Structure 1
Amino acid sequence: MSGRIVVGVDGSEPSLKALRWAAGQSALTGNSLHAVISWDYPASWATAIPGVPPGFDPEQTAKKILDESLDKALTPEQAARVTRTVVAGNPTQTLVDQAEGAELLVVGDRGHSGFKAAFLGSVSTNVAQHAPCPVVVVRGTFTQR
């Protein structure tokens, strides 16, 4: 029986590169591919953030980002075989939890948040330190502005 590869997705270009790499690895190894996105309310959410539309649903937004990312990064055949998981929670903890029993965890080097000058984002650094399985951090090109 094949194992599984977990890949963190947030819609950023580095996560799309990680998704493409993980899909290629999945094809080589026969492991199933599980794409994971998480969302979390910011601490300021309780004070009603200005500009948030009434009825905003962060879970639906995360699901849409995940679906669009798979459509953008993979062929329709590849995307159809991916298990999609949307989780409410901290991204690092979510990926560590989802990687339990996995053959491999794949993340991009930076996501939508973080400092542009950092070599690795906080999520990729933390999952590399705490994941229960091997981790691949897919690096992009570094362009300083």
Structure 2
Amino acid sequence: MELPLVVGVDGSEPSLRAVDWAADEAALRGAPLRLVNASLWERYEGVSRATGADRPSEQVMVEDVVEAATRRVRDRRPGVNVSADVLPDDPVSVLLHEGHAACALVIGSRGRNGLVELLLGSVSLAVAARADCPVIVLRGGHESRPAAGEHRRIVLGVGDGPHSSAPARFALQEAQARGAALDAVRAWRWPGREPTDQPPVEGEPARRNERQAVEILESALGGPAADHPSVELRLRAAEGPARGVLLAAAAEADLLVVGADRHHGHVGLPVGRIAHAVLHGSDCPVAVVPGRAGTP
């Protein structure tokens, strides 16, 4: 049985954009689409779900939300197998539970002030930090959102360690589904370079750092790429801070893929420093892939 793509819906504009994107994505993957709404009204009111005219207004509202989202998918992508459900729990718990049996989770972020999200957290950050499957976050605040696959270009941020193969495999699968090129990017820094207007000085230490970045790219992509020979793969080592390098690379991309650095993240950054940074700054959807996702 093929695992569904799951998208959280709450009736807001960000969630409706996520529904549209997920419908396109499900069509590309040939995957079923599952819409879920988290509602705690039954728990707070101490009542069971009713039918007909006796339905409480809260129940009517949440059921209308998922019904409208379902119609939206069917109008946009009639060939997609779509199902929907209202689940009695908080959004993070619902999405984490659904992620146990999903190929990926899709979330529309409201994209509020970055400092507020940094201090208080958000549904997207909490889910990306703990989900078993890849989590794809579409930031709010952008009035126009390209359809999945419009640019035919995926960007992969290549990190350190043995878990880098999982994001690589996911990015290659996405590129193959879209008929897109994959740009695998690794940032590197000039030794001892401080922020300055002066150009960096050429030398062996700098060349060594650049070669090391290229070697990391080749190691992370060599094995996974062999399983996707039709994907145009471009390896790029770019000098600069990782956040700036990745955001620039993803400026005209369909998807930016990064790993979830859950074991080495700084305090308050449960998905890792780089994933946290791009989730707050990317103009395209960001897929945060846990280390074990996509591994044999």
Please tell me the TM-score bracket, short chain as reference.
0.7 to 0.9
CA contact (8 A) 2:104 2:136 kept: yes
Question: TM-score scaled by structure 1?
Answer: 0.75
Q: How far off its partner does 1:61 sit?
A: 2.1
C-alpha distance after superposition, 1:37-62 (max 9, x if no partner):
0111499869xxxxxxx963433321
| Aligned-partner Cα distance in 2 for 1:32–1:73 | 11
Q: Does 1:4 align with 2:17?
A: no
| Aligned-partner Cα distance in 2 for 1:76–1:134 | 24
CA contact (8 A) 1:16 1:73 kept: no
| Aligned-partner Cα distance in 1 for 2:105–2:70 | 17
Question: TM-score scaled by structure 2?
Answer: 0.39
Q: How far off its partner does 1:70 sit?
A: 3.2
Bigger CA radius of gyration: 2
The Cα RMSD (Å) is: 3.1
CA contact (8 A) 1:23 1:78 kept: no
Question: Which runs of 5 or more structure 2 residues have no equivalent in the other structure?
Answer: 47-53, 144-296
Say which structure, 1 or 2, has more relative contact order (CA 8 Å, 6+ apart): 1
What's the counterpart of residue 137 of structure 1? Answer: 137
Correspondence for 1:117 among 109, 113, 116: 113
Return the letter of the residue paired with 2:141: T
What's the counterpart of residue 60 of structure 1? Answer: 60
CA contact (8 A) 1:20 1:74 kept: no
| Aligned-partner Cα distance in 2 for 1:23–1:137 | 14
Distance 1:36 1:79, change over 3 A: farther
| Aligned-partner Cα distance in 1 for 2:80–2:27 | 13
Q: How far off its partner does 1:79 sit?
A: 8.9
| Aligned-partner Cα distance in 1 for 2:130–2:5 | 16
Q: Does 1:90 align with 2:90?
A: yes
1:30-109 alignment to 2 at 5 Å? 30-41=30-41, 56-72=56-72, 75=75, 78=78, 81-109=81-109
Question: Which runs of 5 or more structure 1 residues have no equivalent in the other structure?
Answer: 47-53
Distance 1:60 1:79, change over 3 A: farther
